[in-house]
Structure 1
Amino acid sequence: MIPVQAWQDARIVWDHHQMHHVPKPCSVAVGLGSHDLSVATTAAEAFGAGLVPLIVFTGANSPTTRARFPEGEAVAYREHALALGVPEDAVRVEPEATNTGQNIRYSRELLAAEGVEVSSVLLVSKPYEQRRAYATARKLWPGVEFVCTSAPLELPEYVDGIGDGRLVIDMLVGALQRLMVYPRQGFMIEQDVPEDVLRAYERLCRAGFTSRLVPARARP
């Protein structure tokens, strides 16, 4: 049983991970690979709404996605988007990236190789990865405007979809740690962590929600 205080702290951290951007027309959508097909759904919906003319799905596999998407995350996302009505010529696949930094770098290189001019990117991720994706993209792709979006889910809905509340809180804690550690390693821009968010994070760490914390020199 997860204590009430832990859920309250998790909601504070969850809200901090949201950038609260309003989706608007962009040069391209970049969907970051993961276990979560809602990323592909959200990108497909953005295309259908006329917000982007082109989608790049990026991602190879991780230990948590290899069984579910043996063909790779980006390939699975592409197939899902096509099934939702996105035409084949509007989707590009970047199948090699294994972390957020590579997602951004490899997507940028793919678009440059095709001669696609990019002034703005609709950055599509899991809900709790918005801020991390934004901070990484700002570091690695200067001169471009980034608009973050994800499936419009609240924390209880997301937990229901995953089916493991402790795992979700562990992931929230791990994502926040990266926001604090990675800027010092040059992987992303620095962002302020409000005091109430930091206190919630520390309480969750003391309560044992630490399985997704990374060593100080881990990759992004």
Structure 2
Amino acid sequence: MTTDIQRSITDDQRQRAKLIWDYHQMGHELGPADAAIGLGSHDLGVPAFCAELHRAGLFPALVFSGGPNPTHPGRFPRGEAVHFREHALALGVPDEAVLLEPNARNTGQNITFSRDVLAEAGIEVKTLLLVSMPYMERRAFATTRKVWPEAEVICASAPLEFDDYLKTIGDEKLVVDQLVGDLQRVIEYPKLGFAIEQDVPEDVHAAYQSLLEDGFDSRLLNT
């Protein structure tokens, strides 16, 4: 049985993880977009922030994308997009503003399938707002620039500090595992043709390697 102590992290690990957390966030200035995509995940903070941005008038149309969550299959049994849509509607987003893409199984599919849904709805997209979990911004950006290069991409996530996000999730080790796993994908996906290359600063890469050595590896790619 896993104990609370085993799921917590040390102050030193927290500092190294914070470097990676900061790197994953793109720091884009929010502005009007032709449409938004809420990327599927285990985090209801995504549809909640989508609802907030829609109320602010940043976009007229919103696609929620994602099938069943592979790492948390019991959390959204009818699929991420379906549950995200319901959550956004409950927060006041009008039904006609929300499109559904329930089949994607990875980020590349999130983008390409959502692009098709928007095209079928007759929505021309020049500027796209991507809403994701905070540590997924950079990977989402790099993927979209690869598979939808003609779109101008703005990345957004709920404005949470790292320590606040740790408290929100309630499992410090899991969060760091996810930070490390996403950084591995930022590094490896360009070699596989899934994303554009991103420069990784030396201190961020060193933090990544040391956290791997500390055993934060449950979200790595299967190789």
Give the TM-score normalised by the residue count of structure 2. Answer: 0.94
1:5 positional shift: 1.5
Structure 1: which amino acid aligns with 2:126? S
Q: Deviations over 1:47-85 (max 9, x none)?
A: 100000010000001233321211111011111111111
**Cα RMSD (Å):** 1.0
Equivalent position of 1:91 in the other structure: 98
Equivalent position of 2:176 in the other structure: 169
Identity of aligned residues (%): 56
* Contact kept in structure 1, 2:37 and 2:114, CA below 8 Å: yes
Equivalent position of 2:152 in the other structure: 145
State how far apart, in whole Å, the 1-side matches of 2:72 and 2:64 are. Answer: 15
Equivalent position of 2:76 in the other structure: 69
* Contact kept in structure 2, 1:40 and 1:80, CA below 8 Å: yes
Residue 124 (structure 2) pairs with residue 114 (structure 1): no
Equivalent position of 1:154 in the other structure: 161
Equivalent position of 2:59 in the other structure: 52
Equivalent position of 1:4 in the other structure: 11
- Structure 2 residues without counterparts, runs of 5 or longer: none
- Structure 1 residues without counterparts, runs of 5 or longer: none
* Contact kept in structure 2, 1:65 and 1:73, CA below 8 Å: no
Counterpart of 1:104 in 2: which secondary structure? helix
* Contact kept in structure 1, 2:69 and 2:76, CA below 8 Å: no
Structure 2: which amino acid aligns with 1:158? Y
Aligned with 2:25 (options 18, 21, 42): 18
- Deviates further, 173-182 or 68-77: 68-77
Structure 1: which amino acid aligns with 2:111? I
Aligned with 2:219 (options 208, 212, 220): 212
